[in-house]
Amino acid sequence: MTRAVVTGIGIASPNGLGPTAYWRATLHGEAAIKPITRFDSANYWAKIAGEVPGFEAGRHLQGRLLPQTDHMTRLTLVGTDWALRGAGVQPNDIPDTDIAVITAATAGGYEFGQRELQKLWHQGPEYVSAYQSFAWFYAVNTGQISIRHGTRGPGAVVVSEQAGGIDSIGHARRQLRKGVQLALTGGMDSSLCPWAWVAHQASGCLSRNNNPKRAYLPFDRDAAGYVAGEGGAIMVLETPESAAERPGTRIYGEIVGYAATFDSKMPSREPGLKRAAELALRDAGMDASEIDVVFADAAGIPELDKAEAEAIKGIFGPYGVPVTAPKTMTGRLFAGGGSLDVASAILSIYWSAIPPTVNVENVVPEYELDLVMNEARHGKIKAALVLGRGKGGFNSAMVVREYR
């Protein structure tokens, strides 16, 4: 079977731009959830978020791209540049038809969309941007990456709420198996504008606690919702043969297992997260005992935390595996969250360290979880399981391993 290795990682996270800065901050437990600055939150009860600081799109992208792109597309394009640079891929290294682009989305270029909706209804149709037809829609990031890098292979966009970041990487691996050499994949997301915020508040999932240290507490007895953030990760995924064509290419790790399941609406049915994890392990041909760390979905909502803890306990036994949720530092990044978790798992393997879960103080004892809290744990990590869930019933699991 065709193997899939990660050779480049582009990260834009509230606590760091680029894999080096992100990893340093994450290992040190640097939280980046703060009061919202991107819009006036006075009229909303949720007032904190994980914003990517210091990102000046104009320093990285040509001026002509700015009027036609939403913030999330700019993050994506810059993240992709970084991932390709890290992988040492130069134009023409790889035939353009052998490169796939597979991204995840949740709500598209929502801030751009709000602005154009406002122009339409406040000023009139003639004021709407000619770019609205594509700047807002869910497919935009795949299209823009393809144009920017001249890739003419397969393109796709998957939307499965917050599980999508994992699904996109799973689908990219499928493309390698179908014969492409390299895929640009993952998700970067942002929806920090008033019209998106109204939807986030309506989701019933946001924390009402505006103390950044007490708002998002997955697995804690005080868990009461999550904090929204922006950013994510774009990765270069390729076959080992493709990477070998560029001597000196660093291989961070390998994607060895993936599965997705869905939760039934019927309360009598068990939630599908455990099954997704088991199927991903089976796909990897691995036993649970070979997993050194679980990057949890960590919803921060008591019933979902309980279901996840039960799934982990069911597979690994009580306190059977270190579990962590670095997203407690950034908030949940929607389509970007799953792919940033996969990137974190790969960095964990590469740097032999498990980043901590921050702010959580009192894990519900019945969960019987070995949650890595406050400080990173150092030591050899050979394989990691990444879990992700999306509102509506989506479950995804991915197994990553050191490349041998």
* Footprint (CB under 8 A) of other proteins, residues 235-264: 259-264
44 binds other proteins (CB under 8 A): yes
Neighbours of 114 (CB within 10 A): 19
Distance CA 386, CA 235 (A): 16
Pick the piece of the chain touching other proteins (CB under 8 A) from 187-195, 248-256, 314-322, 357-365: 187-195
Q: How far is the CB of 178 from other proteins (least distance, A)?
A: 8
Residue 198 engages other proteins in binding (rule: CB under 8 A): yes
Span 357-396, contacts to other proteins by CB under 8 A: 390-394
- Pairing mode of beta strands 99-104, 182-189: parallel
Stretch (H or E) spanning 222: none
Q: Tell whether residue 202 is a contact of other proteins (CB under 8 A).
A: yes
State the minimum distance, in angstroms, from the CB of residue 351 to other proteins. Answer: 32
Judged on CB neighbours under 10 Å (0-12, 13-18, 19+), 299 is buried
Residue whose CB is less far from other proteins, 63 or 248: 63
Six-digit token string for 162: 């917050």
Stretch that binds other proteins, among 4-12, 85-93, 98-106, 347-355 (CB under 8 A): 98-106
Q: Which residue among 54, 63, 268, 269 contacts other proteins (CB under 8 A)?
A: 269
The span of 52-60, 189-197, 246-254, 356-364 binding other proteins (CB under 8 A) equals 189-197
CB-wise, 104 or 298, nearer to other proteins?
104
Closest CB 272 distance from other proteins, rounded Å: 6
Complex with other proteins: residue 118 or 211, whichever CB lies closer = 118
Q: What does each C-alpha distance from 252 to 78, 96, 178 come to in angstroms?
A: 20, 24, 23
- Helices 71-87/110-118 angle, 10° precision: 150
Residue 145 Cβ, how far from other proteins at the closest point, in Å? 8
Residues numbered 140 to 179 that lie near other proteins (CB under 8 A) are 140, 142-144, 146-147, 149-161, 163-164, 167, 171, 174, 177
CA angle (45, 49, 54) in 5-degree steps: 140
* Range 305-344, binding other proteins (CB under 8 A): none
What is the DSSP annotation of 326-378? GGGTT-B-THHHHHHHHHHHHHHHHHTEEPPBPS---B-GGG--EE-BSS-EE
Question: Which CB atom, from 149 or from 313, has the smaller least distance to other proteins?
Answer: 149
Q: How far is the CB of 362 from other proteins (least distance, A)?
A: 29
CA distance 79 to 45: 32
- DSSP one-letter string for 73-91: HHHHHHHHHHHHHHHTPPT
Rounded distance, CA 6 to CA 385, Å?
Answer: 16
Quick note: the x/- pattern for other proteins over 50-79, rule CB under 8 A, is ------------------x-----------
Closest CA to 79 of 36, 27, 22, 133: 22
For 313, the enclosing helix (H) or strand (E) is helix 302-316
Closer by beta carbon to other proteins, 140 or else 372? 140
- Alpha-carbon distance of 112 to 71, in angstroms, equals 8
**103-142 positions binding other proteins, by CB under 8 A:** 105-108, 110, 114, 116-125, 128-134, 137-140, 142
Encoded one letter per residue, x for contact with other proteins by CB under 8 A and - for no contact, window 273-302 reads --x---------------------------
